[in-house]
Structure 1
Amino acid sequence: MLAIAGGKGGCGKTTTALGVARALAALGERPLLVDADLDMPDVHHRTGTDPGAALAAVADGDRPAAVAQRSPRVAGVDVLPCRDASPSTAASAFARLRRCDRPVVLDCAAGAGPDAAAPLRAADRTVLVSTPTSQSLRDAAKTAAMARHLDAPPAVVVLPRSDGTTDPSPLFDCQRVVHVPELPEPPLETEESASRYLKCAKILSKRNI
């Protein structure tokens, strides 16, 4: 189970979650994209799905496959929105999702607080997202430290809006870095973005995540 996490809102975290999920689908997987940001849920908007209470249903015992919605916008990706999920409900759902027999991608809340910690606690690895600015990198370093403490260390660092000159690997102690250049809106609908997120997914697949 993968946590897509970053230090600040607006760093490209949800775009990265969508890009990684789509790339995993392109590799033949059937990923489940979970909105784990209870305060600012956005995945249903981006995927064209209904803002249902699927996460709460999973916590109550429903099978994820039974309540997930197939995205009409992101090919091969099923979505679990988080409407009406309390922190305790979400934590129960994340624990149940650990037993899922398909890749699970968690779009986490930003930062290093309790809302971000809950999905990280359930995840196996983290995809750390940061823009290449010094402030964003410092904030992401706090998230990286929390991810390691919760046994979900960064497997790869994704730098959106990067020209490739920034090397964040010493800061995060993670050698696998994917630079995503500034892209036109909508940022996922280009061959360039597809190739970068496919590179990220291939790194993750090699680690059997």
Structure 2
Amino acid sequence: MFAIAGGKGGCGKTTTALGLARGLATLGDRPLVADADLDMPDLHHRAGVDHAAGVAAVAGGERPTAVAASSPRFPDIDILPCRESDTATAASAFERLHRCNRPVLLDCPAGASPAAAAPLRAADRTVLVSTPDEQSLQDTAKTAAMARQLDAPPALLVLVRSAGRVDPSPLFDCRRVVHVPRLPSPPLRTDESAARYLNGAKILSKRNT
């Protein structure tokens, strides 16, 4: 299970979660993307599914595959939405998701708060997401440190809106980096984004064997 995490809001975590899930689906998996951002849940909006209390249902004992919604925008990807009211039961839902026999990606809150720590604590690995500007990289480095402390070390760094000219290695002990260039909106509808996120999915697939 992978936590998709970053240091700042608006850095592209949800886009990255869906892009990597689409890449994993291309490789033959059927990934599940769960909204772990209980403060500002918007995965359902991006994926085109109802804003149902999926995380709460899983915490209550429902099978994730039974309550997840198929995304009409992204074939072969299932979406588990959440609501702000799911906060009290989210940690137990993340633990149950860990037992899924398919790739699970948790779309996490930004930063290094207790809310961001809960999905990281349940995940096996973390995908860090940042823009290439210095402040975003520094904030994401703090998230990376927290991920290591919670036994979900970084497996991949995704730099969005990046021309590939920034070397993040001074801040990150993560050799696997995917640069996603600035793309027209909506970015996931382009062949370029599909190719970049497929590359990232291949890295995660190898790490998950």
The 8 Å contact of residues 55 and 85 in structure 1, kept in 2 or not, is answered as: no
Shift of 1:75: 1.4
Q: Which residue in the other structure is 2:40 paired with? A: 40
Cα pair distance change 1:32/1:85, threshold 3 Å: farther
5+ residue gaps, structure 2: none
Q: Does residue 129 of the first structure (1) align with residue 129 of the second (2)? A: yes
Q: Which residue in the other structure is 2:118 paired with? A: 118
Whole-angstrom CA distance in 2 between matches of 1:23 and 1:65: 20
Q: What secondary structure does 2:38 align onto?
A: coil
Q: Does residue 203 of the first structure (1) align with residue 203 of the second (2)? A: yes
> Deviations 1:17-76 (Å, cap 9, x if unpaired)?
110111111110010000000010010000000000111010010000110000000111
Tell me the TM-score normalized by structure 1: 0.98
Shift of 1:151: 0.4
Q: What secondary structure does 2:188 align onto?
A: coil
Q: Which residue identity does 1:194 align to in structure 2? A: A
Q: Which residue in the other structure is 1:148 paired with? A: 148
The 8 Å contact of residues 131 and 159 in structure 2, kept in 1 or not, is answered as: yes
Q: Which residue identity does 2:155 align to in structure 1? A: A
- Calculate percent identity across the aligned residue pairs: 73
Deviates more, 1:154-163 or 1:82-91: 82-91
Whole-angstrom CA distance in 2 between matches of 1:85 and 1:98: 21
Q: Which residue in the other structure is 1:25 paired with? A: 25
The 8 Å contact of residues 156 and 177 in structure 2, kept in 1 or not, is answered as: yes
Whole-angstrom CA distance in 2 between matches of 1:135 and 1:163: 17
The 8 Å contact of residues 55 and 86 in structure 2, kept in 1 or not, is answered as: no
Q: Which residue in the other structure is 2:138 paired with? A: 138
Shift of 1:208: 1.4
Whole-angstrom CA distance in 1 between matches of 2:88 and 2:15: 26
Shift of 1:167: 1.0
Shift of 1:88: 3.0
Whole-angstrom CA distance in 1 between matches of 2:168 and 2:174: 8
Cα pair distance change 1:157/1:91, threshold 3 Å: same
Q: Which residue in the other structure is 1:83 paired with? A: 83
Q: Which residue identity does 1:57 align to in structure 2? A: A
> Deviations 1:78-126 (Å, cap 9, x if unpaired)?
0000125433300010011111101000000000001110000000000
Q: How many residues align?
A: 209
Whole-angstrom CA distance in 2 between matches of 1:201 and 1:117: 23
The 8 Å contact of residues 39 and 84 in structure 2, kept in 1 or not, is answered as: no
Q: Does residue 70 of the first structure (1) align with residue 65 of the second (2)? A: no
Tell me the TM-score normalized by structure 2: 0.98
Q: What secondary structure does 1:4 align onto?
A: strand
Whole-angstrom CA distance in 2 between matches of 1:169 and 1:99: 33
Q: Which residue identity does 1:179 align to in structure 2? A: H
Q: What secondary structure does 2:189 align onto?
A: coil
Q: Which residue in the other structure is 2:15 paired with? A: 15
Q: What secondary structure does 1:129 align onto?
A: strand
